[in-house]
Amino acid sequence: MALRMCVRLSKVAPRLWWESSVLRCAFVPHGTTYPAGFINTRRLCTIPELWCCSRQFSSVPPNTDVTYEQLRKLLADGKSVVIDVREPWELREYGSIPGSMNLPLGQVTKALQLNPEEFTEKYGGKMPQKVDNIVFTCLRGVRSKNAISMASELGYKNVQHYPGGWQDWAKNEHQN
């Protein structure tokens, strides 16, 4: 396992060498002290901590959350694709955000690799392009967070999620 960890880190370490979080986390020997102001002042991480540090360099953008108000504006502008990653029976039982497209989480990776005609035929909406702003949503924001990772790995750059999901949407709509 440690060997696999080293191999994984060797792929990202050269291009991330100057990232302070990598340097602080991974390359400072335990108990080492440095002059004041030196960036590397943290102890050496254990393997699990090192794994956690390396995960922060995924392709997922750092700020991916969308608020209720932001989502309403994105839907009104029509410049974003809103994808609900719940199962179809959940949409029938609980409801869905108007203007959203249903693409179950288990199908996200495969669906985003289809050609546009197949995507439209299967999911009833235009396939998002890699440069489009995509907002994923679900019931409570857990599955939509996973969908961000899947889309990012496929090269989609502008991916976000609505952490409140359908529950927050329904609560806010009921108040208005």
Indicate if 6 belongs to the active site. Answer: no
Q: What is the pLDDT of residues 120-140, one digit of tens each?
A: 999 999 999 999 999 999 999
| Residue 102 CB burial class (10 angstroms; 0-12, 13-18, ≥19) | middle
* Amino acid 1: pLDDT: 56
* Beta strands, E only, the chain: 80-84, 101-102, 133-137, 159-161
What average pLDDT score do residues 46-50 get?
42
Residue 2 pLDDT greater than 70, yes or no: no
Superfamily of domain 68-175: Rhodanese-like domain (3.40.250.10)
The tokens describing 9, both together, are 């880190």
Report the pLDDT value the prediction gives residue 69, as an integer from 0 to 100: 95
pLDDT band at 175 (very low <50, low <70, confident <90, very high): confident
pLDDT of residue 174: 85
User: What is the percentage of the chain residues whose pLDDT exceeds 70?
Assistant: 65
Q: Spot the catalytic one: 6, 45, 52, 138.
A: 138
| CA–CA gap between residue 134 and residue 141 (Å, rounded) | 15
Domain boundaries, the chain: 2-55, 68-175
Distance between CA atoms of residues 4 and 7, nearest Å: 5
CB-based contacts of 113, cutoff 8 Å, min separation 6? 154
Collect contacts of 72-76 with beta carbons under 8 A, ≥24 apart: 74/133, 74/135, 75/99
pLDDT in the model for residue 61 = 53
Backbone angles phi, psi at 73, to 5 degrees: -65, -40
Residue 54 predicted with pLDDT over 70: no
Alpha carbon distance 138, 28 (integer Å): 41
Half-sphere exposure (Cβ direction) of 60: Cα atoms closer than 13 Å: 17
